Amino acid sequence: MLSYVPVLILFIFALLLGGAFVFLSYFLGRPKKTTTKLNPYECGVEQATLPRIPVNIKFFAVALMFLLFDVEVALLYPWAAYFKSMVSEGLGTFVLIEGLIFIGILFVALVYIFRTGILHWENGK
Amino acid sequence: MEYIVLSVIIFCIGVAGILLRRNLIIILMSVELMLSASNISFVAFSKMHGNLDGQAVVLLLYVLAACEAAVGLAIIVGLFRLKGSVDIQLFRDLKK
Amino acid sequence: MNILIQSLPLLIMPAVAAFILLIGAMWRRISGESLLIMAVAGLVAALFFGWQGFLAGTASFPADIIFDKIFYLTVIIIAIALALAMLVSYNYLAERKLPWPEYLALLLFAGFGAGLMAAGTDFIVLFIGLETISIAAYVLAGYTRDGSSKEASIKYFLMGAFASAVLLFGIAFFYGATGSVLLSAAPINKLLMVLALALIISGAAFKVAAFPFQWWTPDVYEGSPLPVTAFFATAVKAAAFIMLFRIVAGISGGLGLKFESLLIALSVATMTFGNLAALFQENIKRMLAYSSIAHAGYMLIAFVVLGKDANLAGAALLFYILAYIVMSMGAFGVLIYLSGGEKEFCNMPDVAGLGRRSPWLAAVFGLFLLSLAGFPPTAGFVAKFYLFKSAMAHGYVLLVIAAVINSLISVYYYMRPVVAMYFGEFQQERSLPKIRYSVAGVLIFCAIFVIILGLAPATILAILSH
């Protein structure tokens, strides 16, 4: 452990030195904020468009749908993991129906999403 | 024990984020951070007590957190279309 | 199979909701009226099965759910509140051309969440119910297209999500302290338990809008569309109180800790704040929001009594909730009746001279406001009387005195619209909208109920006292 002490000293030294330089330049330099300086750098050419391009709102909708359906499946993991032991206890039908009801609810949601046209990409409905 | 401390720290970061930040997306992330903090402590306590209740709960909470995030994002998208920004300072038309 | 029948009142609501969503999506031409009738029929069925279950008695599910009398009574109360909220919003939605299926389905899902909150004997079931009703409420708050509605939605969402996270963190510590998420679990670690209780009570106080956590209420109530505000003030509030009832009743069973003085402080602070802030509001919607905070303060009295006599406290709380639902639904219903076209008219000058223009409407509005203020012979008076009497019986004299003084303060602001209606300047510019049958029906129902609860409360009290 002791052999690492020089490394530690090196680290501390580097930190101090770096910090000192930053502080010194902050106090001595006092950078002026001008419009040109704050602009995004674009090779001297005038900025053409805003850097943030509005993304089509449908991306958000699809992302939300993905988020929901992706995470809902997490509930199926324990169901799948316990399925075999439940079957051996003679509760197979009950567990199967339970799982089917859950998937059925997800299916209803999917049908609803399809019919309301959220996943419809063309001719922007 | 360390995990409990970790979860408390994460929870506090979430609270600080909600109180200090002005961007709605970041506030939403802070809320999710708070939910994740309780997930961590559920798992930690589950290990401590040696029963699996806590871990089963975490799965349920994942789904709830996702639903909340989805609704929150949808509301934020609606607000963005209304005002063109997600800065919380813009939304104080109602009397304070 | 028996369990399935027992849980029918709970399950019928999401089933109808999913059906309405599907029908609405598959068959776009379907009219709002038929969907509305379907939803109300579903609620009536839930009410019927709830009554059957109430007669049949308690059944407990193997896992963390109990179907006892309180659950069935809550389902009945919530079903009534939801049906009224649906009927009252008919003209409002139709005039603004807002979509029907989602609105009805969200209300029904909220009803399911409320049922879960009444049935859970386990923090996770309660929390899932709470999230179900909350998420539906966030979306409903932003249901119209104007900015204030969206703003109310985001405020409600942020505050609500924050409160949920705090509550959840409290539940995590509760689990840490007891090794189980059952409400009745006994603590192993006292320190963690105190921490857990502090977080849980804070989160729950947020949901019922109790004193230091009530700041979201006025903004959200004011910004949301009127029928949705009526829904928040009735069904959501009732569900939150039932959840708090379950939590406090469950926890104080397995715990030596006393938090009676904390509840007394919460109650007095909440009602005082609500009443004082409501005094000088020009917007009636906002005034009713503050008044709902004040009523939350009164309802918290039941939780103080809870430690001494759970049956008495439960009956007093349920009666108060029922009375509050009919009278505040009625008050909001009058405002909905007045709001025409695209705008809501909720300011004091908007009701001025209503006594001459529309005597019936003014009389009904006056009745609801008198009931909210607690004048005999209305529901509000009996509810307050019964609640205060139960507190008095267990020796909380100072608390009752504080509550009575608060009720007297509240008379001032409840009388302001009444004075404006009967003695205010007549406004010529705006004519009354044409008759709205569904809202009028709800108003008549609420008015009759307010008077029945006020004159002959014995039967309903007997039912609630089980």
Q: What is the pLDDT of residues C189-213, one digit of tens each?
A: 778 888 888 898 889 888 888 888 8
Q: What is the pLDDT of residue C61?
A: 65
Residue C117 reports pLDDT greater than 60? yes
pLDDT in tens, C5-25: 778 888 899 999 999 988 888
| C138–B contact, CB cutoff 8 A | yes
| C202–B contact, CB cutoff 8 A | no
CA dist list (Å): C411 to C17, C30, C299, C325? 40, 46, 18, 19
B2 contacts: CB under 8 Å, gap ≥ 6? none
* CA separation for the pair C217, C108 (Å, rounded): 22
Least confident of C36-40, C58-62, C132-136, C361-365: C58-62
Sign of the C-alpha dihedral, residues C216, C217, C220, C223? negative
Residue C183 lies in a domain: no
Residue A19 lies in a domain: yes
Residue A68 lies in a domain: yes
Number of domains chain C contains: 1
C322, C77 Cβ separation under 8 angstroms: yes
Q: What is the pLDDT of residue C236?
A: 92
* CA separation for the pair A23, C426 (Å, rounded): 71
Residue A93 lies in a domain: yes
Give the mutation candidate from A69, A71, A105 for the B interface (greatest B CB count, under 10 A). Answer: A71
ipTM associated with this complex: 0.94
Residue B96 lies in a domain: no
Residues B59, A77: C-beta atoms closer than 8 Å:
yes
Residue C125 reports pLDDT greater than 80? yes
pLDDT in tens, B20-51: 888 888 999 999 999 999 999 999 999 888 88
B87, B23 Cβ separation under 8 angstroms: yes
Confidence grade of residue B95 (pLDDT, cut at 50, 70, 90): low
Residues B63, A75: C-beta atoms closer than 8 Å:
yes
Least confident of C116-125, C328-337, C419-428: C419-428
Residue C244 lies in a domain: no
Q: Which residues of C209-239 are buried (b: 16+ CB within 10 A; e: fewer)?
A: bbbebbebbbbbbbbbbbbbbbbbbbbbbbb
Minimal Cα–Cα distance from B95 to chain A, Å?
31
Whether residue A116 is found in the same domain as residue A72:
yes
* CA separation for the pair C409, C403 (Å, rounded): 10
CA dist list (Å): C396 to A5, C316, C399, C400? 68, 15, 5, 6
Confidence grade of residue A16 (pLDDT, cut at 50, 70, 90): very high
Residues of A in contact with C21 (CB under 8 A): 108, 112
At residue C253, the 3 state secondary structure works out as helix
Residues B34, C165: C-beta atoms closer than 8 Å:
yes
Interface partners of B (3+ CB pairs, < 8 Å)? A, C
User: Could you tell me the CATH number of the domain that includes residue B35?
Assistant: 1.10.287.3510
For the full predicted model, state whether its pTM sits above 0.90: no
CA dist list (Å): C275 to B21, C296, C329? 33, 11, 19
Residue C150 lies in a domain: no
Of B33-42, C345-354, C416-425, the range with the highest mean pLDDT is B33-42
Q: What is the mean pLDDT of chain C?
A: 86
Residue C330 lies in a domain: yes
Mean pLDDT value across residues B58-75: 90
CA dist list (Å): C25 to A101, B1, C371? 21, 51, 42
Residue C409 lies in a domain: yes
Residues of B in contact with A64 (CB under 8 A): 70, 73-74
Minimal Cα–Cα distance from B44 to chain A, Å?
19
Q: Residue C4 is which amino acid?
A: L
Residue C173 lies in a domain: no
Residue A48 lies in a domain: no
Residue C452 lies in a domain: yes
Residues B57, C124: C-beta atoms closer than 8 Å:
yes
Whether residue A62 is found in the same domain as residue A29:
no
At residue C433, the 3 state secondary structure works out as coil
- Chain A nearest-CA residue for B66: A68
Mean pLDDT value across residues A29-42: 69
- Chain A nearest-CA residue for B55: A78
Confidence grade of residue C427 (pLDDT, cut at 50, 70, 90): low
Residue A73 lies in a domain: yes
Give the tokens for residue A20: 């000192």
Nearest to B66 among A60, A67, A77 (CB): A67
Residue B29 lies in a domain: yes
Confidence grade of residue A125 (pLDDT, cut at 50, 70, 90): very low
CB pairs under 8 A between B and C: 113
What are the residues facing C283 on neighbouring strands?
Answer: C347
Q: Domain of A110?
A: 57-124
More confident: A33 or A47 = A33
Number of domains chain B contains: 1
Minimal Cα–Cα distance from A71 to chain B, Å?
6
Residue C224 lies in a domain: no
* CA separation for the pair C91, C226 (Å, rounded): 11
| B59–C contact, CB cutoff 8 A | no
* CA separation for the pair B60, B38 (Å, rounded): 12
Whether residue A62 is found in the same domain as residue A17:
no
DSSP for C86-147 reads HHHTHHHHHHHT--HHHHHHHHHHHHHHHHHHHHBSBHHHHHHHHHHHHHHHHHHHT-SSSH
C340, C431 Cβ separation under 8 angstroms: no
* CA separation for the pair B85, B24 (Å, rounded): 9
Q: Domain of C315?
A: 277-466
Confidence grade of residue C353 (pLDDT, cut at 50, 70, 90): confident
Minimal Cα–Cα distance from A55 to chain B, Å?
11
Residues B62, A77: C-beta atoms closer than 8 Å:
no
Mean pLDDT value across residues C135-146: 90
Look at residues C373, C246, C261, C377 and name the one whose alpha carbon lies nearest to residue C313.
Answer: C246
* CA separation for the pair C361, A75 (Å, rounded): 52
Number of domains chain A contains: 2
* CA separation for the pair C285, C223 (Å, rounded): 9
Residues of B in contact with A70 (CB under 8 A): 66
Least confident of B27-36, C342-351, C406-415: C342-351
B52, C115 Cβ separation under 8 angstroms: no
Give the mutation candidate from A95, A111, A112 for the C interface (greatest C CB count, under 10 A). Answer: A112
Residue A27 lies in a domain: yes
Nearest to B61 among C151, C168, C223 (CB): C168
Give the tokens for residue C358: 């529309």
Residues of A in contact with B73 (CB under 8 A): 60, 64
What are the backbone dihedrals phi and psi of residue A45, each rounded to the nearest 5 degrees, phi first?
A: -85, 150
Whether residue A67 is found in the same domain as residue A116:
yes
Residue C258 reports pLDDT greater than 70? no
Q: Residue A71 is which amino acid?
A: V
What are the residues facing C182 on neighbouring strands?
Answer: C122
At residue C283, the 3 state secondary structure works out as strand
Residue A98 lies in a domain: yes
